[in-house]
């Protein structure tokens, strides 16, 4: 439902943005622009944007993202803690709970 893409700024530089399933720029892209202007690494901003896009997709199954509460963040953390990831050997495994921090 949400994906990370790149927008080209007026100066030709690229910035990670979050696009909705309708192909529209999501409001949260203001945050990624802020991170870039604050000097964060483009790779860091891209990683943050991809995690935010995943959260927005998850939230869309529960409620509007503007209605997010602490309870939703806790449910998201639990969802992430239970999800599987591919490790360096391309093997599917559970996350270690110590890696899921908020």
- Return mean pLDDT, the chain: 89
State mean pLDDT over 39-52. Answer: 93
State mean pLDDT over 57-62. Answer: 93
The proportion of the chain whose per-residue pLDDT surpasses 70, expressed as a percent, equals: 94
Q: How far is CA 31 from the centre of its chain?
A: 11
pLDDT in tens, 8-45: 988 988 899 999 999 999 999 999 999 999 999 989 99
The proportion of the chain whose per-residue pLDDT surpasses 90, expressed as a percent, equals: 66
End-to-end CA distance of the chain: 23
The three-class DSSP label of residue 58 is: helix
């Amino acid at each position: 439902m949400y994906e990370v893409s790149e927008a080209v700024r007026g100066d030709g530089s690229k910035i990670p943005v979050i696009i909705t399933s309708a192909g529209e720029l999501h409001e949260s892209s203001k945050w990624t622009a802020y991170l870039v202007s604050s000097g964060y690494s483009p790779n860091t901003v891209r990683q943050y944007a991809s995690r935010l896009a995943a959260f927005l997709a998850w939230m869309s199954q529960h409620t509007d993202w503007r209605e997010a509460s602490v309870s939703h963040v806790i449910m998201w953390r639990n969802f992430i803690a239970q999800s599987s990831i591919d490790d360096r050997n391309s093997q599917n495994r559970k996350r270690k709970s110590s890696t899921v921090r908020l």
